[in-house]
Amino acid sequence: MRSNLPLFLGFKEIWRNKARFALVIGVVTLITVLVLFIAALSEGLGAGNREYIATLDAELLVYQEAADLTIGASQMPANLTRSLRRVEGVAAVGPVGFSTGSVVRVGEPLDVALIGVQPGQPGVPPVREGVTFSRPNAREAIIDANVAEQAGFKLGDLITVRSVQGEDENSYQVRVVGIAPSRKYGIQPSIMLPADTWERVRAKPAIADVQGAPAFNVAAVRLSDPQQREAVAARIAGRVKDVVAVDLKTAYENTPGYTAQQSTLSTQSGFTLLIGLLVIGGFFQIQAIQKIAQIGMLKAIGASNRTVAAAFIFQVVIITTIGVLVGALAAFGLSLALPSVVPVQFEPAQVLTAVLLLLAIGPIGGAVAVRSLLKVEPLTALGLTS
State which H helix or E strand residue 172 sits in: strand 168-180
Does residue 211 have a pLDDT over 50?
no
What's the total number of domains in the chain?
2
Same domain, 205 and 277: no
Q: Same structural domain for residues 284 and 172?
A: no
Assess if residue 311 is contained within a domain. yes
Residue 221 has pLDDT above 90, yes or no: yes
Residue 269 has pLDDT above 50, yes or no: yes
* Residues 268 and 197 grouped into a single domain: no
Whether residues 16 and 108 share a domain: the answer is: no
SS3 (DSSP) at 346: coil
| pLDDT tens string 347-368 | 888 888 888 888 888 788 777 7
pLDDT of residue 217: 93
Does the pLDDT value for residue 105 go beyond 70? yes
- 41 and 149 assigned to the same domain: no
Q: Which of 213, 246, 267 is the last residue of a domain?
A: 213
378 band by pLDDT with thresholds 50, 70 and 90: low
Same domain, 16 and 121: no
Query: Average pLDDT of the chain?
Result: 85
Confirm whether 249 is domain-assigned. no
Asked if residue 187 belongs to a domain, the reply is yes
Between 181 and 211, where is the model more confident? 181
What confidence tens digit (pLDDT) does each residue in 40-76 have?
888 888 888 889 999 999 999 999 998 899 998 899 9
Q: Are residues 116 and 205 in the same domain?
A: yes
**H runs (alpha helix) in the chain:** 5-16, 18-54, 80-85, 145-151, 195-201, 229-239, 248-253, 258-290, 292-300, 305-337, 348-374, 378-381
pLDDT at 371 (0 to 100): 72
Q: Please state the rounded mean pLDDT for residues 140-162.
A: 93
Domain span holding position 169:
97-213
Split at pLDDT 50, 70, 90, the class of 376 is: low
pLDDT band at 97 (very low <50, low <70, confident <90, very high): very high
Q: Do 266 and 177 share a structural domain?
A: no
* Global pTM exceeds 0.85: no
Angle at 335 between CA 329 and CA 341, to 5 degrees: 175
The residue ranking higher by pLDDT, 1 or 229, is: 229
376 and 265 fall within a common domain? yes
115 located within any domain: yes
39 and 153 inside one domain: no
Whether 273 has a pLDDT exceeding 70, the answer reads yes
In this structure, which amino acid lies at residue 113? A
Q: Does 79 map to a domain?
A: no
Judge if 126 and 18 occupy the same domain: no
pLDDT attached to residue 181: 94
Range in 16-20, 201-205, 335-339 with the lowest mean pLDDT? 16-20
Whether residue 115 has pLDDT greater than 70: yes
Is the domain of 105 the same as that of 174? yes
In a domain, 191, yes or no: yes
Domain boundary among 159, 185, 213: 213
Domain endpoint, select from 185, 213, 241:
213
In a domain, 85, yes or no: no
Task: Please check whether residue 30 lies inside any domain of the structure.
Answer: yes
d(CA 386, CA 380): 9
Q: Is the pLDDT of residue 382 over 80?
A: no
pLDDT of residue 348: 87
